[in-house]
Amino acid sequence: MNTLGITIMGAAGKMGRRITEKLSQENLRLFLCEKGEKGIQYLLAKGLQPVPQEEAIPQSDLVIMAIPDRNLEEVSREVVPLMKKGGTMLYLDATVPYFGNVMLRDDCTFVAAHPCHPPLFGEEEHPEARRDFFGGIAKQDVVIALIQGEEAKLAMAQDICAKIFAPVRNIHRISLEQMAILEPILAEVVAVPAIYIIKEAIDEAVKRGVPEDAALAFMLGHVRIDLAILLGGADIEFSDACKVALKRGYELLFRPDWKKVFEPGIAKSIALEMMQK
């Protein structure tokens, strides 16, 4: 069996570095592509040789797009025509492939994948793994979607994703639309503001005289219980008094129509704005 050839676009970026480090340990032919002068110098300083995309991509079985969302559409128009027939492209996010206008080819396969990151209630033995919020040390799940193309090529991309995001517990096959619901809508548009309210509430408590250490310790402990009850499978439930607080707080804090962020038109407008950053 021939050794897989893989191009990493944006090899000197944050994600590109992680991918390069992981895949350098495997029996693969890696081609590292980087346009920025600082990125090129970084690779050279690490003893790695950058390869022009015009040279790398035609001989690659898989092209990994480890570049910022704002550049994906433009770079796809440069890269996709260079791909060999039967080649595969891996996007590391669904936002631009779903909401944007990336270039596709009928004779190539296109895949999107994204890490779930280590779960809050994951069971890790080592302190270093328990402090790993991004992934790479602690176990995590991954979601993957076939944008278009061959199932066999999806399976190949999935195997590479398992190496990139290792250690991996489960890889969940979903659709591109479902992945776009998960991120940016669920994980960023909904979760981040909800958690930001908690941070603002802690700040407000401190302004009103609560010692900061006490407020933070109290909130983090209680949030853990709340998340365990609602999401973590804890065999307990909120007290009757807490259910009153939940109802009244929900009415005061959230707009009745907040779920409209999931509507396609609103979701797309938010995503398009995010893609420019």
What's the average pLDDT block by block, 10 residues per block, for the chain (277 residues)? 92 97 96 95 96 98 97 97 98 97 98 97 91 96 99 98 98 98 98 98 98 98 96 91 98 97 96 91
Bridge partners of residue 29, in order along the sequence: 5
Question: In which domain, by residue range, is 95 found?
Answer: 5-174
Boundary of a domain, candidates 137, 154, 174: 174
Boundary of a domain, candidates 149, 174, 199: 174
Task: Judge if 198 and 168 occupy the same domain.
Answer: no
Determine phi and psi for 27, rounding to 5 degrees.
-85, 80
Give residue 198's pLDDT: 98
Q: Are strands 62-65 and 140-148 parallel, antiparallel or unpaired?
A: unpaired
Query: If residue 59 lies in a helix (H) or strand (E), which one and from where to where?
Result: none
Give residue 1's pLDDT: 56
Give residue 65's pLDDT: 99
Q: What is the reported pTM?
A: 0.94
Task: Judge if 243 and 167 occupy the same domain.
Answer: no
Quote the tokens at residue 105. Answer: 């080819």
Task: Judge if 85 and 165 occupy the same domain.
Answer: yes
Give residue 16's pLDDT: 98
Give residue 276's pLDDT: 86
Handedness of CA 246, 250, 256, 261 (dihedral sign): negative
Task: Judge if 193 and 161 occupy the same domain.
Answer: no
- The amino acid present at 60, given as its one-letter code, is S
Give residue 231's pLDDT: 94
Sole residue written with tokens 């548009």: 189
Of the candidates 6, 138, 8, 126, the one whose C-alpha atom is nearest the C-alpha of residue 65 is 8
Task: Judge if 85 and 210 occupy the same domain.
Answer: no
Give residue 232's pLDDT: 82
Q: Cα 83 to chain center, whole Å? A: 24
Task: Judge if 138 and 166 occupy the same domain.
Answer: yes
Task: Judge if 16 and 128 occupy the same domain.
Answer: yes
C-alpha–C-alpha distance, residues 134 and 22, integer Å: 15
What CATH number is associated with residue 143?
A: 3.40.50.720
Task: Judge if 168 and 39 occupy the same domain.
Answer: yes
Query: If residue 161 lies in a helix (H) or strand (E), which one and from where to where?
Result: helix 151-164
The CA-to-CA distance between both ends of the chain, in Å, stands at 42
Boundary of a domain, candidates 174, 208, 234: 174
How many other C-beta atoms can be found within 10 angstroms of the C-beta atom of residue 211? 11
Give residue 149's pLDDT: 98
**How many structural domains does the chain have?**
2
Task: Judge if 203 and 170 occupy the same domain.
Answer: no
Determine phi and psi for 89, rounding to 5 degrees.
-115, 135
Quote the tokens at residue 226. Answer: 């709340």
Task: Judge if 214 and 246 occupy the same domain.
Answer: yes
Give residue 148's pLDDT: 98
Q: Cα–Cα distances in Å, from 190 out to 51, 197, 238? A: 40, 11, 23
Task: Judge if 11 and 103 occupy the same domain.
Answer: yes
